[in-house]
Structure 1
Amino acid sequence: MTGAVVRDATEADTEAIVGLTASGWRVAYTGIIPAERIADLPIAAWRHDISSGLREPVADSFTRVAEVDGEVAGYCFVAAPGRDEEPDSSVAEVVAIYVDPGRWMKGIGRALMESVTKIAASAGYPEMTLWTFERNAQARAFYARLGWQRDDERRPHAATGTPTIRLHHTLEAQE
């Protein structure tokens, strides 16, 4: 296991989260999305959105970080209800999960996903969804190992036009 400590993110984690997002895009999405998009990441916009989202979360939305040896090594942001859902929906969405590429395959992503699914279930959400790039075989295999299943939804990524697919996961009720 990782030795990771998973906790709620704070606004002080903004720079670490922005850095993880950028490194995730550069490593995981090379060859999947257009190279010019990776070369021109919207760092300032991410910084603004992440900081304001941590300062003033919307509805049941939340962000968790995983720390290893005192450093933020990964994070997961959940929108609840999900962005595709009606405001009173019972479906939460994993909007983003990124782990330091140098720490992949060490259980950090699993620890984050276990944490967020437990929180969503405890908040009364019976199901979660997420979108991933269709050609991101590594991410799809990771989600499959955790029990996520593809449904029939498919759409282009808003910023890149790259095909994405939706996965869903039924949550176990928490007492």
Structure 2
Amino acid sequence: MIRPALPEDLDAICEVHARARATYYAGHLPAEAYSGPAELERQRAGTEQAIRSGEYTVLCAVRDERVVGFAVLGARFEGDKLFHFHIDPAVWRTGTGTALHRACVAVWQDAKLTTARLYVFAPNARARAFYARQGWEEDGREEDHVTMRLRVPEA
């Protein structure tokens, strides 16, 4: 099930975020950069603000009453971004990511956006392949990230 995130989902979202990031940053960045206390608190504060502010859309993928994925996206401006899209590695390749991505596209369609953008960690080939299967195209590189663009299909 895909639904809007609630403030009480914050702990579960942070846990998914930490597990997902550990899979693709390990071996590429120092652990402190993605799982150190300061970084975890920064991520928590940002996610909490996104949920509470209403500036962004925050969606949760829920399976067996447990948050197993989440997305934070902008849907106010043309070319707005998919800021976070993380699925618990325990449920990769189960359709959870595809369902969550479809919900993101529906949000952009409702907002009448025609394009969306994202940044993905360049060494994360698995994520880049997932996004390509969903219709995203590489649009450039910035340091260690690949920029991608999605032409949002009409509803």
Partner of 1:170: 151
**5+ long unaligned stretches in structure 1:** 82-88, 157-162
Partner of 2:17: 21
Q: Contact 2:75/2:111 (CA < 8 Å) preserved in 1? A: no
TM-score normalised to the size of structure 2? 0.92
More helix, by proportion: 2
Q: Contact 2:16/2:69 (CA < 8 Å) preserved in 1? A: yes
Q: For 1:35 and 1:43, how far apart are their aligned partners in 2? A: 11
Amino acid across the alignment from 1:25: R
Q: Contact 1:122/1:173 (CA < 8 Å) preserved in 2? A: no
Following superposition of structure 1 onto structure 2, how do residues 1-175 of structure 1 map, counting pairs within 5 Å?
5-40=1-36, 42-58=39-55, 61-81=56-76, 89-152=77-140, 154-156=141-143, 163-174=144-155
**5+ long unaligned stretches in structure 2:** none
Q: Contact 2:138/2:147 (CA < 8 Å) preserved in 1? A: yes
Q: Contact 2:5/2:58 (CA < 8 Å) preserved in 1? A: yes
Q: Alignment RMSD, CA only?
A: 1.4
Amino acid across the alignment from 1:168: R
Q: For 2:100 and 2:72, how far apart are their aligned partners in 1? A: 10
TM-score normalised to the size of structure 1? 0.82
The alignment covers a number of residue pairs equal to 154
Distance change >3 Å, CA 47–CA 36, structure 1 → 2? closer
Q: For 1:155 and 1:34, how far apart are their aligned partners in 2? A: 20
**Partner deviation per Cα, 1:142-173 (whole Å, 9 max, x = no partner):** 11111110012x223xxxxxx00100110112
**Partner deviation per Cα, 1:72-107 (whole Å, 9 max, x = no partner):** 0100110234xxxxxxx4112111111111111111
The percent identity for this pair of structures is 27
3-state secondary structure, aligned to 1:91: coil
